[in-house]
Structure 1
Amino acid sequence: MTTDETTEQHLELPGLVRDKVAEGRAKARATRARKQAEAEPAAHLPVAQLLLDLQPAHLDRTFDYTVPASMAETAVPGARVKVRFAGQDVDGFVLARLDASEHEGRLSPLKRVVSAEPVLSPAIAGLAADLATRYAGTRSDVLRLAVPPRHAAVEKEAAPAPVPPAWFEPTAAATAWAGHQPGEAFLRHLAAGGSPRAVWHAAAGSDWAVLLAHAVASVRASGRGAIVCVPDGKDVARLAAALDEVLGAGQHVALTADSGPAARYRSFLAVSRGAVRVAIGTRAAAFAPIHDLGLVAVWDDGDDLLAEPRAPYPHARETLLLRAEREDAAALVGGFARSVEAEQLLRSGWARQIAPTRTLARERVLVGITGASDIELDRDPLTRASRVPREVHQAVRAALTEGPVLVQTPRRGYAAALACERCRTPARCTVCTGPLRLTGPATPPACAWCGTVADHWACPVCDHRGLRAPVLGDARTAEELGRAFPGVRVVTSSGDRVLPALPAGPGGRPTIVVATPGAEPVATPGYAAVVLLDSWLLLGRPDLRTEEEALRRWSNAVGLAAPGGRAVVVGDPAHPALQALVRWDQPGFARREAEQRAEAHLPPASRLATISGDPGALDDALTLLAAPTDAEVLGPVAVGPPDADRWRAVVRVPRAEGVALSRALLELQRLRSARKLDAVRVQVDPPTL
């Protein structure tokens, strides 16, 4: 290259740089212009009122943002959006579109619309506000429970066509509900478009799923929708089969966590878009955005599975009752047993009772108690020491000729606890003092806490080396029954292996089912006999609801018996809960329980809230709490393991002051959050203490 050519290129470089700079400036001006055009407020309803997904309680309020013109069609009420808040990208929902904001300063624009699908209906948004106030929580926590995570691929699927109402057969419904009075009148009221409220006590041997399906069919005949909540997936499957039989396939969707993200979101969208008007499921189904809701129903409302373990800990029953109030819908609270909360609905006049006639209750199942009564001791002197008395063996042997037999035992495993054979001292691990147990007939005793094998255990009191099992699990019970009834198939259902239905035995072989409470499989048409073992174990828990919970579990097991079947309970014949089971008078037991709790100022006559945390945090919370005048503070007391240093206080007020207590707790949460104090857990109406 010559010197002249080099000089010419050096002279051209500044020109190239100027061109590049000019091109960059032009692009920057175009980008600013595009962004300004995109940020131009929408011509119609330019303000979006948002509820942001923020954890601090003092930020549980609405925020106004500008809606850019480019998002005017997609930022609809109920849509998911993303905005800039405190230097971070935050998710939120559009609650409403407004003409103007009350905020005097400049509003930030929406960053983007995540999805134009309106997944948050006004009814659910209002319900979230009510539940947040009721349980002293935040609306964002409630909405995490109410609205499932987005699944983009499912949203792009074609929307299903709306399902027309099913054909309602009054005669079939009346036949199914016969004997439950005034069940037929309740169904007629539903079909006519009314909103009756009832607490239903089911007779033993009733197919509760079919009866609920007919109630849903009644409300669908009026063109309205329904929600039914049940405790677990086994109950959901049973109810789904009944709805398919009564209403036909495709008339409902099931909302459960086990169905997976895509299937759950698909079912949610079918309900949200109005294609399906019936939703069933576990506690999450209580938030289903049913269009024109006509009926909310819950089965077995005393089951603790219906209590949400995540903040703000709402109960499905209370969620459904709030929806019934807000949306003027009918309500049905049913079960073989009756909770004291359901009894309170009757005592207050909010609901009416549906119950079986005495004739129907007597005809369905005969319940008897065997134990250490004088008559039984005369017949069999070893009855007092026997876990399975002779009368139980006779009942099982007779029932096996007619159908399967259910044996309920409260503990799972083999030998859940061990004790000294001579002096009955509980056997403990020498390493961590945990209880020793057996996991099988050929395994040595081992610690239930640390797993240390205790081959050479000796009683620290009498130095005896023999062990006995005062508490036997379902596996050991099945082993004993298999030896007592040779040739009979023995099936277990408990823990991780729960059978939803009893599988057919080979060649019609008689079957005994050993199950823990809540894991009993359904048999068609029912069990010929039901045996309840170790009733003392369920009655020995130190809890406010011990007897109520024991009666509920026994009633659910007896409810699986076939019409005309028999149930035998091994226990104390004089115990009030067992007497209520024999008479099938669970409503009477609930009334007495409610009266006793009212005298002791316990729920549901009172409203309780617990505040738990570290000692310093709990002391700060109690100092900041502006409780109602009639409030009582019980405690604090230590809870949990000794090394956890966790304490709990109970705040109690009369039922009439329940709303005031919830508001005071909500204000406490906001003060704590604003001042960045140490966290405490606040729970209103805990299911247990």
Structure 2
Amino acid sequence: MSEIGPRREQSHQGPAGEQLALLRDAARKRTPPRTWRDAPLAERLPVARVLVDKGLVHLDRYFDYAVPAAMDEEARPGVRVRVRFGAGQRDGRREGGRLINGFVVERRAESDFPGVLAPLAQVLSTEPVLTPELLRLCRSVADRYAGALADVVTLAVPPRMARAERQPSPPPAAPPPPPAPGGWTRYPQGPAFLQALAAGEAPRAVWTALPGPHWPDELARALATTLAAGRGALAVLPDGRAAARLDTALTALVGEGHHVLLTADAGPEVRYRRWLALNRGSVRCVVGTRAAMFAPVRDLGLVAVWDDGDSSHHEDRAPQPHAREVLVLRAVQEGAAALVGGHAQTVEAAQLVETGWARPLAADRPAVRAAAPLVRTVGDEDSARDPAARSARLPSLAWETLRDGLERGPVLVQVPRRGYAPRLACARCRAPARCARCQGPLAAAGPDRPLSCGWCGTEAPGWACAECGESRLRAVVIGARRTAEELGRSFPAVPVRTSGRDHVLDTVPDRPALVVSTPGAEPVPEGPGYAAALLLDGWVLLGRPDLRAGEEALRHWLNAAALVRPHADGGTVVVLAEATLRPVQALVRWDPAGNARRELADRAFLGFPPVSRMAAVSGPPEAVEGLLDTARLPAEAEVLGPVPMPVPEPGRPRRVGDPPPGEQWQRALVRVPPGSGAALAAALKTAQAARLARREGAPARVRIDPADIG
């Protein structure tokens, strides 16, 4: 009868079995195992210096490995390898360890390590992906942000796709002919900037683009001019829609084969194939989103970033570099030109102009007035005197603008909050409506849908106010979906389209329609532009407790208003915000550069970034205290805090930088004057590495130039 189940190895019992086991043990003792020291090594440059894939600052150095003779030809600088890391010592030999990935950065004749080197375990690919130029850039970024080199290389070099590496890249195309200046003639210094690019020079400019749909063509002409001069070009844009617009404009200008598009929509294999085309020199121009800031463009002649104030340019992964700062480093290291452009202007861009690193590139006032729409304001006092504003959400001026605009084309309505009614309150006592389970805010997803918690998602169909027992609710904040519903009832014969995080429209046709959008998701009109635009609830953007609230509000407004037709063609923008506020006045005058200069002066007076350099140290109290005590900070450093960090309420989704649930963290800010930023980053990184090496408690989190210092 056969057995049912897994087959087990039969053990040898009795004297015969014992004798067989003794003979086997004796054979093992007589035949020592073959070790890596028995394998011949490469005759020339037998040492490989390897960057291991360990993103820890106390391991932020290179490790030496022996190169077996069988890997001599393949283990070239820049290739991916696998090595044993964390090996122990036994009888003078390094043994064991875990296999991890790494990159060969150098081949050497000797090693500084006094012991016996472990060999390379495997060469994963013969493709040299970590070039010396890219390695130097990654090292500069790691030092600037007090991070580990391995973390930056992870951002710079995409994951390997073997099938893409096996496919040959096309031969490089001949440089295209130089384009005409086109729209750059609208700027007094525009033709001169293109002439400098054509001559192979490295001009640096902060470009305040005129409103309208022409910026993709103008940016494409700058890239094409650089290509025509025989140099490479790189442009980073905040999202895939903007990158697609530039890709279309550049293809129409120079044709296919001169550039690649690097966005997340292409998929990992296609992106890696395009990245390899750049690395191999088959293509010398790239248009893409944030990850393209590290693209290995040969003989780089121009780096450009569009709308650098967009939060999408800020990398969430350690060490959290910003695309603008990375491109500034590349421009300096590789002697390339730099173009920081947008309809708005950030304080950091204004500082580049203020310090003389870049020159302003803007149109004169008559050209601005000819291209911009008419901007009108409705403040709180105006709404209080308006009967229509007291009984409805929109004042009379907004209703009139809607009606007039819909007679001529589509009208854009910008709403700062998404959803239907994201914030609710009791209709009687005005107490916030909260979830009974986690005390999170209740929200309404639609007119016929039950209330649900914005944190834990629990439904609350039978809600009653805990303060007064009332069951009726009122909307404290009205979202984009509720706005679209209300406007649809007011204009039943007009189609209403919505664009937001869940569904973003790329374009809208040039015919009457109401387009309700959240900031940053505004679709591009196919015709000459929107006939009008309403910018609702300005207090939501301006009232955020953030250092950049005014700057961000103005950027969102300018980007939306830039899609509206010029005033001569009837284009009108109405913003619902107090007219006396500085960002509102900058919008009315269409003066983003002036607003950025005044904001920069205020930051300099108060000692705020970017005039001063700042680092945020957060973590458990003992970790923050230990790091600050260990760090040899510059003499002029000023430590602010530490102060307790807000503890996320139970059920609330965690954000980047939040402490773990149930832990009380602290945060300290370290501020230094201009010129001491590198010393601050080096001091914190050295102290962090020393504490990790000695295993002195939980590590603290260090962030240079944090996005939020509130």
Tell me the TM-score normalised to structure 2 length: 0.88
Residues 1:179 and 2:186 aligned together = yes
| CA deviation vs aligned residue, 1:313-352 (integer Å, no higher than 9, x gap) | 1111111100000000000001111110111101110000
Aligned residue identity for 2:482:
R
Aligned residues: 657
Aligned residue identity for 2:603:
R
Secondary structure at 1:678 match in 2: coil
| CA deviation vs aligned residue, 1:255-311 (integer Å, no higher than 9, x gap) | 223322211110110000000001121111000010000000000101111111011
Shift of residue 457 of structure 1?
4.0
| Distance in 2 of aligned mates of 1:236 and 1:114 | 33
| CA deviation vs aligned residue, 1:163-189 (integer Å, no higher than 9, x gap) | 22222222xxx2221222311111110
Residues 1:678 and 2:684 aligned together = no
Structure 2 counterpart of 1:139 = 149
| CA deviation vs aligned residue, 1:223-244 (integer Å, no higher than 9, x gap) | 0011111111121211111111
Aligned residue identity for 1:265:
Y
Residues 1:687 and 2:707 aligned together = yes
Aligned residue identity for 1:621:
L
Secondary structure at 1:655 match in 2: coil
Structure 2 counterpart of 1:298 = 305
| CA deviation vs aligned residue, 1:103-148 (integer Å, no higher than 9, x gap) | 4443333222111100011111001111111000111000000001
Which of 533, 536, 552 is the equivalent residue of 1:533? 536
Structure 1 counterpart of 2:80 = 80
Aligned residue identity for 1:594:
L
Which of 499, 508, 512 is the equivalent residue of 1:510? 512
Unaligned runs of 5+ in 1: 1-16
Secondary structure at 1:449 match in 2: coil
Structure 2 counterpart of 1:320 = 327
Query: Structure 2 matches for 1:325-336, cutoff 5 A?
Result: 325-336=332-343
Which of 198, 201, 211 is the equivalent residue of 1:204? 211
Q: 1:455 to 1:107 in 2, by over 3 A?
A: closer
Query: Structure 2 matches for 1:582-621, cutoff 5 A?
Result: 582-621=588-627
Structure 2 counterpart of 1:5 = none
| CA deviation vs aligned residue, 1:392-436 (integer Å, no higher than 9, x gap) | 121122122222111100011111112233443333334433222
| CA deviation vs aligned residue, 1:171-227 (integer Å, no higher than 9, x gap) | xxx222122231111111001101000001111114221111001001111100111
Structure 1 counterpart of 2:94 = none
Residues 1:268 and 2:271 aligned together = no
Q: 1:285 to 1:452 in 2, by over 3 A?
A: closer
Secondary structure at 1:568 match in 2: strand
Residues 1:245 and 2:252 aligned together = yes
Which of 531, 546, 550 is the equivalent residue of 2:549? 546
Shift of residue 47 of structure 1?
2.5
Q: 1:254 to 1:402 in 2, by over 3 A?
A: same
Query: Structure 2 matches for 1:259-658, cutoff 5 A?
Result: 259-372=266-379, 380-383=386-389, 386-460=392-466, 464-502=470-508, 504=509, 510-525=512-527, 526-563=529-566, 564=569, 565-641=571-647, 643-658=662-677
Shift of residue 459 of structure 1?
4.3
| Distance in 2 of aligned mates of 1:109 and 1:456 | 68
| Distance in 1 of aligned mates of 2:499 and 2:596 | 29
| Distance in 1 of aligned mates of 2:608 and 2:684 | 19
Contact 1:187/1:215 (<8 A) preserved: yes
Q: 1:247 to 1:640 in 2, by over 3 A?
A: farther
Q: 1:442 to 1:104 in 2, by over 3 A?
A: closer
| Distance in 2 of aligned mates of 1:149 and 1:452 | 39
Contact 2:376/2:572 (<8 A) preserved: no
Secondary structure at 2:124 match in 1: strand
| Distance in 2 of aligned mates of 1:538 and 1:356 | 28
Aligned residue identity for 1:626:
R
Shift of residue 75 of structure 1?
1.3
Structure 1 counterpart of 2:683 = 664
Deviates more, 1:627-636 or 1:106-115: 106-115
Shift of residue 245 of structure 1?
1.1
Query: Structure 2 matches for 1:85-234, cutoff 5 A?
Result: 85=85, 86=87, 87-170=97-180, 174-234=181-241
| Distance in 1 of aligned mates of 2:250 and 2:113 | 51
Q: 1:632 to 1:374 in 2, by over 3 A?
A: closer
| Distance in 1 of aligned mates of 2:55 and 2:184 | 47
| Distance in 1 of aligned mates of 2:454 and 2:61 | 48
Shift of residue 610 of structure 1?
0.6
| Distance in 2 of aligned mates of 1:375 and 1:616 | 53
| Distance in 2 of aligned mates of 1:399 and 1:233 | 29
Deviates more, 1:418-427 or 1:368-377: 368-377
| Distance in 1 of aligned mates of 2:37 and 2:113 | 22
Contact 1:136/1:669 (<8 A) preserved: no
Contact 1:213/1:247 (<8 A) preserved: no
Shift of residue 452 of structure 1?
4.4
| CA deviation vs aligned residue, 1:621-675 (integer Å, no higher than 9, x gap) | 2221221111111122222426441221111111221111011011022112201
| Distance in 2 of aligned mates of 1:523 and 1:509 | 9
Secondary structure at 1:178 match in 2: helix
Aligned residue identity for 1:688:
D
Q: 1:464 to 1:88 in 2, by over 3 A?
A: closer
| CA deviation vs aligned residue, 1:83-105 (integer Å, no higher than 9, x gap) | 22222222211112223334444
| Distance in 1 of aligned mates of 2:436 and 2:83 | 59
| Distance in 2 of aligned mates of 1:646 and 1:256 | 36
Secondary structure at 1:322 match in 2: helix
| Distance in 2 of aligned mates of 1:562 and 1:381 | 30
| CA deviation vs aligned residue, 1:526-545 (integer Å, no higher than 9, x gap) | 21212100011111110111
Contact 1:365/1:566 (<8 A) preserved: no
Unaligned runs of 5+ in 2: 1-19, 88-96, 649-661
Secondary structure at 2:269 match in 1: helix
| Distance in 2 of aligned mates of 1:487 and 1:175 | 41
Aligned residue identity for 2:496:
V
Secondary structure at 2:524 match in 1: coil
Aligned residue identity for 1:538:
L
| Distance in 2 of aligned mates of 1:216 and 1:624 | 47
Q: 1:481 to 1:76 in 2, by over 3 A?
A: same
Aligned residue identity for 1:685:
D
Contact 1:370/1:389 (<8 A) preserved: no
| Distance in 2 of aligned mates of 1:419 and 1:110 | 64
Contact 1:612/1:647 (<8 A) preserved: yes
Contact 1:488/1:512 (<8 A) preserved: yes
Contact 1:154/1:266 (<8 A) preserved: yes
Secondary structure at 1:168 match in 2: coil
Contact 2:378/2:574 (<8 A) preserved: no
Deviates more, 1:411-420 or 1:386-395: 386-395
| CA deviation vs aligned residue, 1:47-80 (integer Å, no higher than 9, x gap) | 2222111233222112222322222221111111
Aligned residue identity for 2:554:
L
| Distance in 2 of aligned mates of 1:567 and 1:169 | 34
| Distance in 2 of aligned mates of 1:628 and 1:424 | 51
Q: Using the aligned pairs only, state the percent identity.
A: 51
| Distance in 2 of aligned mates of 1:628 and 1:386 | 57
Shift of residue 450 of structure 1?
3.8
| Distance in 1 of aligned mates of 2:82 and 2:169 | 25
Tell me the TM-score normalised to structure 1 length: 0.91
Contact 2:190/2:361 (<8 A) preserved: yes
